[in-house]
A = this chain, B = another copy of it.
Amino acid sequence: MKKNSTTIYDIARALEVSASTVSRALRNHQDISAEVTEKVKKMAKKMKYKPNTLAQNLKERKTKVIGVIIPEIIHHFNMSVLNGIEEVAFRKGYHIMVTKTNESYQREVMNADSLAGQVDGLLVCLSQETKKYDHFRTFKQQEIPLVFFERVAEKVAGHRVVMNDEAIAFTLTEHLIKSGYQRIAILTGGDHLNTCRSRIKGYREAISRYGMTPDESLIVKTGMSFQEGRVGFQKVMSMEQKPDAIFATGEQIALAVYSETKKMGLHIGSQLGLAAFSCDPLLALLEPSVTGLGQKGFEMGSMAAQLCINEIENENKSTKSRAETLSNELIIRKSSLKTSADTLVVSSYSSFLSGKNSDESLVYIY
Contact = CB atoms under 8 A, between A and B. Distances in A.
Nearest to A115: B95
Contacts of A115: 95
B97 A65 contact: yes
A270 to B, nearest CB: 15
A282 B2 CA distance: 43
A287 B120 CA distance: 46
B53 A55 contact: no
A327 B353 CA distance: 55
A112 interface: no
A116 B287 CA distance: 46
B2 A142 contact: yes
Given A3-B142, A143-B1, A54 B65 contact: no
Interface string A242-263: 0000000000000100110010
Contacts of A118: 53-54, 57, 95
Contacts of A2: 61, 117, 142
B63 A58 contact: no
A146 to B, nearest CB: 12
Contact of A74 (B52, B62, B79, B285): B79
Interface residues of A, number: 53
A28 interface: no
A286 B57 CA distance: 49
B83 A95 contact: no
A168 interface: no
12 contacts: A1-B63, A1-B119, A1-B144, A51-B117, A55-B58, A58-B58, A90-B107, A95-B97, A95-B99, A98-B98, A262-B285, A287-B287
Given A3-B142, A54-B63, A55-B58, 14 more contacts: A2-B61, A4-B143, A53-B118, A54-B58, A57-B57, A65-B97, A73-B79, A79-B79, A90-B107, A95-B99, A255-B285, A262-B285, A282-B285, A285-B286
